[in-house]
Chain A
Amino acid sequence: MYLAKITRLIIQNIRRNLGHFSMSAIGIIIGIASLSFFVALRNGVKVWIHSEDILPLNKIEVVPKKTSIDGPIEKFKPINDDAVERMRMRPEVMAAYPKMKFRFPGLARGGRSLFGQDIQIEFIGDGIDPKLVADEKFKKPLSFKDYWASENPKRGCKLDKECPAGKSCNRFSNSCAECESDPDCGAGKRCEPRVKMCIPALRCWPRDPYLKKQDGSYAKNAATGKRIKKENRFHGDCWAVGKRFRCDTRTRQCTNQCTGDNQCGRYYYCDAKATNTCYHAVPALVSKYIIEMYNGNIAPGRNWPQINNFVASQFFGLVFTAAIGDSVMGAKRQDVRVRRIQLVGISRKAINLGVTVPIGYVKRWNRAFALRDEKGILPSEEFKFSTYSSVVIWVRSKSDVSRFTHFAKKLGFEQQDSAAEMVGNFIDFVGLLLGIVSLVILIISALNIAHTYYMIIADRRREIGVMRAVGANRWDIRILFIGEASVLGLIGGTIGLALGRTLAYFVDFISSQYVATFMFKPKTYFHFTWWVWVGAIGFGVLFCFLGTIFPANRAAKMQPAHALIIQ
């Protein structure tokens, strides 16, 4: 009740002193507009850099130490599974993902459908744990995973001695043989002779290739009136075994043996030169950096069209060939393997120049191309597939970075670069500087409000006297004036915030229309979080409140008899 009545008085006083208040509020509006603008700019730049994975603050890439200038050259300490596990166990570590670079030559060929002719470039890249991109969405049905590992659960091998005792290494599947003949596989399964693997002994036949409705009639295309074909019409139940299996029309048995790509499932290819087996194309990611580099540096100079997200998405599913072991720069290896690589998406986590594939493929390829003698892989070559080129560490917060870096140094590793921390600190510093400028504006506004209120109180001294005479106590008078100022701050803060937001929209518009495209150019430079909204209005109220404390106190302490004297 009291609050409602006081509010009524406050609103009427504001109406009466609208002129005075408008002038005082201008300072608050400008101060809050600049404060919200600068804080949102700082937030926006940080969000842009960190969320876009340009320089995330809580991400560190740990690499083996290369040189030491403060002492004798230290022994090279490789990052192996044990080191990764020790890092992963640290309390400040959220996740640790090893990376492994290609340690073999390679040649990529493809792009006829895009460029009119095949382009041949050196095949370079690295492998990452698919979990690292688990939060990224890919165009369905594409997926970034190690298909070979899921379809060939057995460990890869090259020589018989790499397999358990009594098992031979199958040269087609590069896996340890499961069986030699059908009896080894047990009931319901048979031994696929070429790959020496047990597969379900299914009799298969090409099914009716057309799709049927529930009532038994054929489903038809509404536009053409033609019957709709099933996707897996040739392979029948064999796809239940695996998508790389097909129905051999001659033997009526499921097999993954092939002579051409058309015998394998969608996204599968036939390794016709070596194993005559269907394999899923190796999923690969490219970096957004390549697209940004094209858009920022290559396309503008040649008047080529920009690649936006939609255009880029048209490339997803594109398949090219990689000749692993081949090279345009060096000698060709004897045992060149041809693999199909399928572009499944664009990711900031991919290597900047090259392709990124699931780390399992890289481990197997590096292993396959490690040098061997009759005893097996040379010990000096083991690092190629057993050690990692780096580990991506996500710590829980920015403050954990230095603690973890210290630990990594103790393990004998180093941080790849500390640019993220430096840039983060620089943004904080600039943000703080701009914030201080805004606060100075607000302080000046508060002083202006204080001055205005001293004048208002001098004008209204008789009114104060009357209110005291009818029973207002000192706190009532204080609340009245502070309340007026707080409403002024609320309105000024809201208008200031709206002005700051409008200014931000304007800057974004100017940037989108008139600023040339550059790498990682963001759609917006600003991030107005809930606390920017609340804080800006809160600061408006706070500074008006601070500006009125002394005048309101003076008004409250005024002797009613003196206040009522006619001037």
Chain B
Amino acid sequence: MSKPVITIQKVSKHYGRGTGRQQVLHDVSVEVKPGELVSIVGTSGSGKSTLLNVVGGLDRHYEGEVTVLGNKYTGLSDNALSRLRNNRIGFVFQAFNLLDHLTCWENVALPSFFGKHPGDTRRMAQEHLERVGLEDKINIKPGNLSGGQKQRVAIARALFNKPDLLLCDEPTGNLDTRTGQQIIDLFSSLNRNMGITVIIVTHEQRVSKVANRCITLEDGKVVSNGAPDKMKVVDTACEPVSGRRTDH
């Protein structure tokens, strides 16, 4: 049996102190296997994005153990964590987070600015843009693109370092239904064809429908975690077909 890509053990996180203390994650334990496409669903404030940030190493203030791609985050230096993100993890955000003063190809090639990525970065960026259908937008700045195109550029950037793990935080949140569907299909095909492990934090039921697994968070706790064929998607949660919530 292959080793899990992500192992989260009893991770808790809170914001604030004293009376203002707010617990956002409660003893969350999850495992993700290689090649899985996992959707994390839940209401606003349920801790989905926080969990994704913890997995991506963007947030290091938590309790518990997180191991990603064989790297235990506890005791991992900032440099090593940055290298891990630079080489093996891709991020896609709801707000695209493209740098407006850079052209599309420069945005795509951004990871190469901070790490060792041998080869012609412009050509590599061009190839990734072709993969997401934006070969004619290489020298265009993001300000001149539609929301869907921006998200495709962001996906191309996430794919630039040929990641083992793709972390997507509500990637369709700012897109219309049709464009959102195209993006979901893109993730699905990346997962199927390239074997990339994809974790998508989302509100959208259709995302959960294409996922191998659906994890529901509620008030910082995992309330359901199962394969879609054993779950039904209700509002912003995946519920077991039997009506009883299960822990994975």
| Minimum C-beta distance from A226 to chain B (A) | 81
Flag if B115 contacts A471 (CB, 8 Å).
yes
Flag if A9 contacts B93 (CB, 8 Å).
no
The proximity string for B residues 39-72 relative to A, scoring 1 for CB distances below 8 Å and 0 otherwise, is 0000000000010010010111100000000000
A466 to B121, CA, bound (A): 19
Contact for B58 among A6, A13, A462, A561, CB less than 8 A: A561
| Minimum C-beta distance from A14 to chain B (A) | 10
| Among listed A110-118, A401-409, A472-480, A500-508, interface-contacting one | A472-480
Q: Which residue of A lies closest to B61 (CB)?
A: A559
A15-B101, A16-B101, A564-B97 known; A466 vs B110 contact (CB < 8 Å): yes
Q: Which residue of A lies closest to B88 (CB)?
A: A471
A15-B101, A466-B97 known; A471 vs B111 contact (CB < 8 Å): yes
Flag if A468 contacts B79 (CB, 8 Å).
no
Flag if B115 contacts A463 (CB, 8 Å).
no
| Minimum C-beta distance from B153 to chain A (A) | 12
Residues of B within 8 A of A566 (CB): 95
| Minimum C-beta distance from B175 to chain A (A) | 16
Q: Which residue of A lies closest to B54 (CB)?
A: A561
A462-B97, A564-B93, A564-B97 known; A471 vs B87 contact (CB < 8 Å): yes
Chain B residues with a Cβ closer than 8 Å to the other chain, count:
32
Interface residues in A529-567 (C-beta closer than 8 Å to B): 559-562, 564, 566
Q: How large is the interface on A (under 10, 10 to 19, 20 to 34, 35 or more residues)?
A: 20 to 34
A12 at the interface (CB under 8 A from B): yes
A463 to B121, CA, bound (A): 21
A470 to B82, CA, bound (A): 8
Flag if B97 contacts A465 (CB, 8 Å).
yes
- Greatest chain B CB density within 10 A among A467, A469, A559, A562 is at A469
Interface residues in A328-386 (C-beta closer than 8 Å to B): none
Flag if B112 contacts A5 (CB, 8 Å).
yes
Flag if B59 contacts A561 (CB, 8 Å).
yes
Q: Which residue of A lies closest to B118 (CB)?
A: A1
A12 to B58, CA, bound (A): 26
Interface residues in B101-125 (C-beta closer than 8 Å to A): 101-102, 106, 110-115, 121
| Minimum C-beta distance from A239 to chain B (A) | 82
Residues of A within 8 A of B85 (CB): 468-471
Residues of B within 8 A of A469 (CB): 56, 58, 85, 91, 97
- Greatest chain A CB density within 10 A among B82, B85, B93, B161 is at B82
B76 at the interface (CB under 8 A from A): no
| Minimum C-beta distance from B78 to chain A (A) | 6
Residues of A within 8 A of B97 (CB): 462, 465-466, 469, 564
| Minimum C-beta distance from B116 to chain A (A) | 8
Residues of A within 8 A of B98 (CB): 466
A149 to B212, CA, bound (A): 114
| Minimum C-beta distance from B86 to chain A (A) | 2
Residues of B within 8 A of A8 (CB): 113
Q: List 8 A-B contacts (CB under 8 A).
A: A5-B112, A463-B99, A469-B56, A469-B91, A471-B111, A471-B115, A473-B83, A561-B50
Beyond A564-B53, A564-B93, list 19 extra A-B contacts (CB 8 Å): A5-B112, A12-B106, A462-B95, A462-B97, A466-B98, A466-B110, A468-B82, A469-B56, A469-B58, A469-B91, A470-B91, A470-B110, A471-B82, A471-B83, A473-B79, A560-B53, A561-B50, A564-B58, A566-B95
Query: Which residue numbers of B lie inside 8 Å of A, CB to CB?
Result: 50, 53, 56, 58-61, 78-79, 82-83, 85-87, 91, 93, 95, 97-99, 101-102, 106, 110-115, 121, 157, 161
